[in-house]
């Protein structure tokens, strides 16, 4: 049945309505990051994750992803353990991508797009969840042609992300594309006819792993 399967197959876990998901993306290679991030958010919302429970932050490049993910998760733990929500500012939704805005760290959130409107979501009736993130997604794109230390950045960033995942015991979805050239990246961001947006897979993986983690606890 799974012979020749490329990709994650069908997920059994679909209901993300109680989940809180953090996203950290690099800003290098923004033209690829943007559709990948859009793919992630569209799948999270399709699984029922409330926009107010999707927190997006950005860092300059992939190298910075591990420390940002580590601190973001830590901040969500602190926030969950203090009734005053003293660290709330740390978790304010923000993304520096020019055409993608996720707003509202308070009672609701609105995700808007300047482009085709596909990311628009209403904050009406939003159900903001409390507690630390159930999963975090780290997104970056490393293009071999653009850096001689491509392998080095790819390796240490991957190791750093795995370390954070195991140290904290939180599912950390690996959205780090390592491609040989921009065309390969465009295919994996779903920007070509034969392409597929890997961000969609990462969104689905986050929901599945977040639900599994709740069951394992």
Residues catalogued as catalytic: 149
63 binds ligand DLZ (CB under 6 A): yes
Nearest approach in angstroms of CB 20 to ligand DLZ is 26
Torsional class of 21: left (φ above 0), alpha (ψ -120 to 50), beta (otherwise): beta
30 binds ligand DLZ (CB under 6 A): no
DSSP-H helix ranges across the chain: 30-46, 65-81, 150-168, 182-188, 198-216
Tokens of 6: 């490329």
Gap between the Cα atoms of 13 and 204, Å rounded? 9
142 binds ligand DLZ (CB under 6 A): yes
Q: Which is nearer to ligand DLZ, 20 or 188 (CB)?
A: 188
Binding piece for ligand DLZ, criterion CB under 6 A, among 8-16, 36-44, 45-53, 146-154? 146-154
Nearest to 109 by CA among 58, 57, 53, 56: 53
Residue nearest to ligand DLZ (CB): 61
138 binds ligand DLZ (CB under 6 A): no
Report yes or no: 44 and 54 within 8 Å, Cβ to Cβ. Answer: yes
Burial of 70 (0-12, 13-18, 19+ CB in 10 A): buried
The dihedrals phi and psi of 213, each to the nearest 5 degrees, come to: -60, -40
64 binds ligand DLZ (CB under 6 A): yes
Out of 8, 15, 60, 127, the residue judged to bind ligand DLZ by CB under 6 A: 60
Binding piece for ligand DLZ, criterion CB under 6 A, among 1-9, 101-109, 141-149, 200-208? 141-149
134 binds ligand DLZ (CB under 6 A): no
112 binds ligand DLZ (CB under 6 A): no
147 binds ligand DLZ (CB under 6 A): yes
Gap between the Cα atoms of 168 and 179, Å rounded? 29
Q: Which residues bind ligand DLZ (CB under 6 A)?
A: 26, 28-29, 60-64, 140-143, 146-147, 153
């Amino acid at each position: 049945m799974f012979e020749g399967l490329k990709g994650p197959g069908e997920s059994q876990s679909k209901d993300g309505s109680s989940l809180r998901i953090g996203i950290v993306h690099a800003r290098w290679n923004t033209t690829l990051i943007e559709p990948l991030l859009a793919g992630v958010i569209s799948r999270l919302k399709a699984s029922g994750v409330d926009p107010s429970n999707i927190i997006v932050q950005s860092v300059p490049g992939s190298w910075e992803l591990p420390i940002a993910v580590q601190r973001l998760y830590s901040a969500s733990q602190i926030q969950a353990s203090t009734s005053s929500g003293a660290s709330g500012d740390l978790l304010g939704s923000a993304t520096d991508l020019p055409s993608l805005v996720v707003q509202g760290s308070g009672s609701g959130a609105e995700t808007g797009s300047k482009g085709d409107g596909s990311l628009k979501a209403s904050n009406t009736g939003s159900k903001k969840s409390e507690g630390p993130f159930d999963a975090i997604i780290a997104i970056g794109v490393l293009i071999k042609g653009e850096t001689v230390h491509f392998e080095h950045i790819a390796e240490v960033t991957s190791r750093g992300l795995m370390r954070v995942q195991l140290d904290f015991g939180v599912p950390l979805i690996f959205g780090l594309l390592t491609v040989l050239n921009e065309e390969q990246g465009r295919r994996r961001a779903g920007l070509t006819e034969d392409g597929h947006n890997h961000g969609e897979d990462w969104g689905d993986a986050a929901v599945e792993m977040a639900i599994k983690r709740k069951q394992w606890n």
